[in-house]
Amino acid sequence: MTIGVSAFIGQRLTEARLARGILTQSHLAELLEMRSSSAIQSYERNTNKPRSEMVLRLAECLKVKADYFFLPLPKKTYPIFWRSSHTTTRHKREIAQAKFAWTKIVDSYFKEYLVMPPLNLPDRVELGVPDNIEDLTDAQIEEITERLRSFWSLGTAPIQNMTILLENNGILISYGQLDSDKLDAFSNKSEYDQSFHVFLGTDKGVGLRSRMDSAHELGHLVLHAHLSQSEFLGKKHSLFERQAFRFASALLMPRSEFQNDVWMTSIEALRSLRAKWLVSVGAMMKRCEDLGLYGDKDTSRMWIKYRRNWETIEDDNYQFETPQLIKRSLDVLVSEGLRTRPQIAADLPFHALDLERMLHLPEGYFGEDFGQIINIPTVRDEHKQRTLSDGGGKLIEYDFKS
C-alpha cells in the first residue's frame, strides 16, 4: 500500500456515507457493485485500508474529494443536544450529525484566515448554573436568563432577531432540511475549537418557531454543555428538555415586562402581542401558565380552544431568520483577496455544489470567473494590415514550416 492510502481514516468514510443518507454498509457495497459489505466494514473500522483505486471509487460514489478521507479527526468530541431521543429518530440523527460535521469543517477552514466573533458568554458559576443540573429549579432558570440578558445589555425588551444575537456573541448558526418531524434543531460545542454551534431545521418553515428553537438550543449550551452524551440522552433527557424550554421562554419573554403586557385572559389578546414579542401564541400561553397569570379554568379553556383551532390561531407567516456569519466570512475571504472563489472550492474537500448548498449560495457561485481569459491575445504588428475585406474575405496562408 502507498503511504497516502495507509493514512485513510475510516471514520471519514462512515461520516460521508451517512451524510449521503446511506444508512448501511451493505447499501454502499451494492452501489459499488461489491459482493459483500465486509470490505466496507473493515475500511470503516480501520482494520483494513483501501487501495488507491478503491479510494477513488469511494470518493466518486459518495461525491466527495478523495482527500476528504485523509482529514485528521478532532482529538475530542462533545455531546450533541438532540430535541428527541426516540429510537425512530436515530437514523435521522446520524445523517444530521454527519452533515453538521461538514459545516464545522468549513468553519475551521474560515478560521485559518479570519478572526471570528469570540464566544461572549459568562461562565456557569457567574450565571449560577449548578453542577448537579437535576437540582436546577424554575426560579433559578428565571434568574439565569435575567443575568444573561443583563450581560448582553438586552434589558427587558423583546429580542428582534435571535439569530443575529447569537452570531454577534460568537455562536455559529447553520440551517437546512432535517426531513424529520421529531428533529427541529440541535447544537453542540465544536470539536475543533470548542466554539458553540447551532443547527436549525427549516422543514416546517415557521419563523416564530425557529426563534424559539434558537433560544432552546442556547439553553442547552448554557445549562447542559458540561454533560456527557450518555447523561444527556439518558433517563433525565425529558427533564433537560423541559429546562431548555423554560430557559427559552424566559429569555424571549422576560417575566417583568411580559406579564405587564398580558391585559386579559384570551387568545385574541395574546395574538395582539405576537408582533411585539415575536413568539407563537402557544408559547405565550405556556409562559402565562408558568408565571401563574391565568387560573386553572382559564388555562384549560384556552388550551382546548387553541388545540381545536391552532392552525388558524398561529397563521405564522413570519420570515425565517437567515444566518449571516458564514456567508459574510466567505465574502471577506474573497473581497480581501485572501482566496478566490475557485481557490476556496479547491481548498475544501467537498464538491462545489455541496458547498453552495451547505452555505446557501446560488448555484455556480464557486464557478464564477473560473476559466475565463483575462488577458486577451492581440494581433501581431506585421499582421495588422492583413485583414479580411469585401465581406467574403481573403484567405491568409501561413507557412507551417517556419
Please tell me the predicted confidence (pLDDT) of residue 398.
33
Q: Is the pLDDT of residue 273 over 90?
A: yes
Selection from 232, 213, 218, 248 nearest residue 133 by Cα: 232
Domain boundary among 73, 99, 132: 73
Distance of CA 306 to the CA centre of its chain: 32
Angle at 183 between CA 179 and CA 188, to 5 degrees: 120
Regarding whether 258 and 115 lie in a shared domain, the answer is yes
Cα-based distances in Å from 284 to 255, 276, 287: 11, 12, 5
Indicate the number of domains in the chain: 3
Regarding whether 286 and 227 lie in a shared domain, the answer is yes
Q: Is 373 exposed, middle or buried (0-12, 13-18, 19+ CB in 10 A)?
A: exposed
Lowest mean pLDDT among 21-25, 244-248, 398-402: 398-402
Tell me the pLDDT tens digit for each residue of 77-132.
788 888 765 655 788 888 888 888 898 899 989 999 999 888 999 999 999 999 88
Cα-based distances in Å from 85 to 144, 223, 228, 325, 369: 26, 18, 14, 30, 46
Residue 90 lies in a domain: no
C-alpha cell recorded at residue 392: 467574403
Regarding whether 239 and 353 lie in a shared domain, the answer is no
Regarding whether 171 and 58 lie in a shared domain, the answer is no
Helix (H) or strand (E) holding 241, with range, is helix 237-252
Among 177-186, 275-284, 381-390, the range with the most confident prediction by mean pLDDT is: 275-284
Please tell me the predicted confidence (pLDDT) of residue 11.
94
Range of the domain at 50: 1-73
Does 89 or 357 have the greater pLDDT score? 357
Tell me the pLDDT tens digit for each residue of 290-346.
999 888 888 899 899 989 988 888 876 788 888 889 889 999 999 999 999 999 999
Average pLDDT over residues 145-172: 95
Average pLDDT over residues 183-199: 85
The answer to whether the CB of 247 falls within 8 A of the CB of 223 is yes
Tell me the pLDDT tens digit for each residue of 29-62.
999 999 889 999 999 999 999 999 999 999 999 9
Residue 177 lies in a domain: yes
Residue 237 lies in a domain: yes
Grouping H, G, I as helix, E, B as strand and the rest as coil, residue 172 is strand
Regarding whether 335 and 268 lie in a shared domain, the answer is no
Q: Is the pLDDT of residue 347 over 70?
A: yes
Regarding whether 148 and 3 lie in a shared domain, the answer is no
Residue 232 lies in a domain: yes
Partner residues linked to 200 by β-bridges: 175, 185
Grouping H, G, I as helix, E, B as strand and the rest as coil, residue 342 is helix
Regarding whether 294 and 334 lie in a shared domain, the answer is no
Q: Is the pLDDT of residue 373 over 50?
A: no
Tell me the pLDDT tens digit for each residue of 232-270.
777 788 898 999 999 999 999 999 999 999 988 888 999
Cα-based distances in Å from 370 to 342, 344, 347, 365: 7, 12, 15, 10
Regarding whether 344 and 282 lie in a shared domain, the answer is no
Regarding whether 221 and 134 lie in a shared domain, the answer is yes
Residue 373 lies in a domain: no
Grouping H, G, I as helix, E, B as strand and the rest as coil, residue 33 is coil
Q: Is the pLDDT of residue 148 over 90?
A: yes
Please tell me the predicted confidence (pLDDT) of residue 400.
32
Beta strands in 184-293 (DSSP E): 185-189, 196-201
The answer to whether the CB of 295 falls within 8 A of the CB of 327 is no
C-alpha cell recorded at residue 73: 479527526
Please name the residues in contact with 64: beta carbons below 8 A apart, sequence gap of 6 or more: 16, 349, 350, 351, 354
Q: Is the pLDDT of residue 397 over 50?
A: no
Q: In what order do the strands lie in the sheet with 196-201?
A: 81-82, 185-189, 196-201, 171-176
Q: Is the pLDDT of residue 395 over 50?
A: no
Please tell me the predicted confidence (pLDDT) of residue 153.
96
The answer to whether the CB of 14 falls within 8 A of the CB of 95 is no
Q: Is the pLDDT of residue 206 over 50?
A: yes
Lowest mean pLDDT among 12-21, 83-92, 393-402: 393-402
Regarding whether 245 and 189 lie in a shared domain, the answer is yes
Rounded mean pLDDT of the chain?
Answer: 85
Average pLDDT over residues 133-150: 95
The answer to whether the CB of 15 falls within 8 A of the CB of 103 is no
Please tell me the predicted confidence (pLDDT) of residue 350.
92
